[in-house]
Chain A
């Protein structure tokens, strides 16, 4: 990803777009932050936010007609937030603490003819930049029509206070009898004509049409503003806004810069921020008891109606995105920076490696922002650059290796020389529901006797972990395997396998087993059962056909469904996808905990991994096969299968299927398989957490039995043995009772031990 691609990606995430109120403010005041501050009764903070963007805040906050309120998302939900009234209350309630900084004085002088609101705003902005400002006003005093207002609207002392502040910035005020052309002498480098004051006819006659963007007049160095007629609903604030725009132009003009280059245009309420309001209920606008304005308490209450407009659509629905406390625009930058680091700590590695790649964010985002693409590309880059942490996806990759190795089987059906179809159950169904897999295979053979079997892993862990080259080699191998079987149709039980085959081997006719079953006459009735909440696996997100087939099966079984909002296209990951749970087990756990809380009903799914991940929480969860084949059904409360049992189940399934198909290729038996273990329940949990298999322990103990090498405690009946297996060293603490090993503890580490002078072990 280069800078340009990063910017394109950042632009898709609209969370930093201004809320409607800010976009609708001619001065760009951050009204959302202001109202939020008032809602917290932080009026000093509120005032500081106003003063950041408002010139002459004492006057503007009291006088603004609040065009922002037109864009408030509360409008149709009880009425727009009374931002104008809140500003007035705030500015009256707390004094200014702002320290106004002035830049060093400059030499070019500016004449300001007229002293209405536009002129005062302009004088404020230019004086702060260090320009010497000379304001000409009539004898009634600076302020123009502001001086004619009643005290309840604007007190003269407020105006005088702001004028005093202007004088402190070096603004010079000159009273004159008439505001005429004679004032525009050559000693000034720029002239501003404020039309919101009483100008003489000869000067008015000089003013042609002004440029809409820059406020420039035909005469070089002349600018104007304050064009609103009396009676205009936004007369005051638009005049201030024009004064501000003219000030920007004059500042640029005096520096000899372009008046228009990269000039930020007023948004006039336009923003791309998406705000979801469907779950909000109406809240009526707070009316002040005294029409003069809000009390502090009323203001706080009114401010608390603020929606605090944010997009965060993806973050609200994704535990992973919420975990890192920001949003995709920031995440894109973080990942870009992480990739750019040559030396130093890559703090975003875990972040990049724990996205489930489930793509829910793409569906939810109004602009289809994809965290999956972002994270997957970053992972692929890490692998290519050889800086992928070896432990990040280790266990998932080990599972893959085992399923593609010792548990793999590819065979025609019994007594068949060819296959019309091949059943590909996937490694998780094989590991979690091996007996049901056999049952399912029998059903498929009843439909089509020439249905062969293909036990394997589709390579998802390689793909998810960014090992693209390895994955492509696997895909090539799958193509060869399929060709060697006579290019039969593939029947898949796992949504992940199905998606990866369809995406990478489009020449293979791949169909979901559920689609095939939905087309059969299913006679089994499931009468009298409670409604189940159907959780689609995340890799079925775009597979409308399979999702529809599952619902059709359930309809045939007369199984009622309970509502689950985030399903179908919006469905959520179980925390296994993308190898999330491998990289960050605690996060994977949070993801399933959040998922099961979305329904009170017993859950149902058609992905074996989802079934067991959801069941980890203690939630009752059924697999579709439990409904289809009651004779092999497991209870919804059945605990998740352990990682150790999955390995064993896969080997067993291979054995059953090999025998069933008349294949000699029985799984290899290992010497260590017969070692008898006694493991407490507590230790089983620890082993699961540490990804230590019973297979690993048996191998360590087998090594010990072979070599006799171990470390014995000097006074207690405890022994330690260890072996290096793959990328880790496994340690087992145990005692023996006959041929049985009682495990006390086990742990592993990845660092390898070497003698300073000899080789490692």
Chain B
């Protein structure tokens, strides 16, 4: 799994923090597996953005892969 998932459009502001999201490391958990990935994150409150393309693309693919193991 590619560990960097930053959307083309990074122009997102965390609210109510009021600061732009930045690349940051988070963990994705599924059926007992853990992945460390780089995603847009609020540097203050750690709110994470998972965009549609990632959720329905690579993420779904990995979910299915893990389920069939």
Q: Which residues of A contact B (CB under 8 A)?
A: 343-347, 349-350, 389-392, 708-715, 719-720, 722, 729, 731, 733, 745, 747-756, 758, 760
Contacts and interface: CB of A to CB of B under 8 A. Distances in A.
A745 B36 CA distance: 27
Nearest to A746: B52
Contact of B49 (A391, A720, A758): A720
Closest 10 CB pairs of A and B: A389-B67, A714-B11, A749-B55, A754-B27, A751-B30, A751-B28, A747-B52, A747-B55, A752-B29, A711-B12
Nearest to B33: A751
Contacts of B23: none
Determine which residue in A710, A714, A749 has the highest number of CB atoms from chain B within 10 A of its CB, and name it. A749
A754 B29 contact: yes
Nearest to A755: B46
Given A345-B69, A758-B46, A753 B15 contact: no
B67 A708 contact: no
Given A392-B67, A711-B21, A750-B30, 20 more contacts: A343-B69, A345-B65, A349-B68, A391-B63, A708-B16, A711-B13, A712-B12, A714-B20, A720-B12, A731-B55, A747-B55, A751-B30, A753-B27, A753-B48, A754-B27, A754-B28, A755-B27, A755-B46, A756-B36, A760-B29
Given A720-B49, A749-B60, A753-B27, A714 B12 contact: yes
Contact of B13 (A349, A708, A712, A722): A712
Given A708-B15, A756-B36, A751 B26 contact: no
A710 B27 contact: no
Contact of A749 (B11, B21, B46, B63): B63
Contacts of B26: 753-756
B28 A346 contact: no
Nearest to A719: B15
Contact of A389 (B15, B21, B49, B68): B68
B66 to A, nearest CB: 9
Contacts of A392: 67
29 contacts: A344-B69, A345-B68, A345-B69, A349-B67, A349-B68, A350-B68, A391-B63, A391-B67, A708-B16, A712-B12, A712-B15, A713-B11, A713-B13, A714-B12, A714-B13, A714-B20, A720-B49, A729-B50, A731-B52, A731-B55, A733-B52, A749-B55, A751-B63, A752-B28, A753-B28, A754-B26, A754-B28, A755-B46, A756-B25
Contacts of B55: 731, 747-749
Contacts of B3: none
Contacts of B65: 345
Given A753-B48, A754-B29, A756-B36, A346 B68 contact: yes
B18 to A, nearest CB: 9
Interface residues of B, number: 35
Contacts of A711: 12-15, 21, 47, 49
Contact of B68 (A347, A712, A719, A758): A347
Contacts of B30: 750-752
A760 B46 CA distance: 11
Interface in B1-56: 9, 11-16, 20-21, 25-31, 34, 36, 46-50, 52, 55-56
Contact of B27 (A713, A747, A756): A756
A745 B53 CA distance: 11
A391 B31 CA distance: 11
Nearest to A345: B68
A709 B47 contact: yes
A692 to B, nearest CB: 12
Contacts of A714: 11-13, 20
Given A345-B68, A709-B16, A747-B55, A753 B11 contact: no
B54 to A, nearest CB: 8
A758 B13 CA distance: 22
A731 B55 CA distance: 10
Contacts of A347: 68
Nearest to A733: B52
Nearest to B39: A753
B63 A710 contact: no
Nearest to B42: A711
Nearest to A343: B69
A753 B5 CA distance: 14
A746 to B, nearest CB: 8
Nearest to A718: B12
Contact of B67 (A343, A390, A749): A390
Contacts of A722: 50
Contacts of B68: 345-347, 349-350, 389
A358 B44 CA distance: 54
Contacts of B29: 751-752, 754, 760
Nearest to B41: A755
Contacts of A729: 50
Contacts of A758: 46
A728 to B, nearest CB: 10
B28 to A, nearest CB: 4
Contacts of B25: 756
Nearest to B14: A711
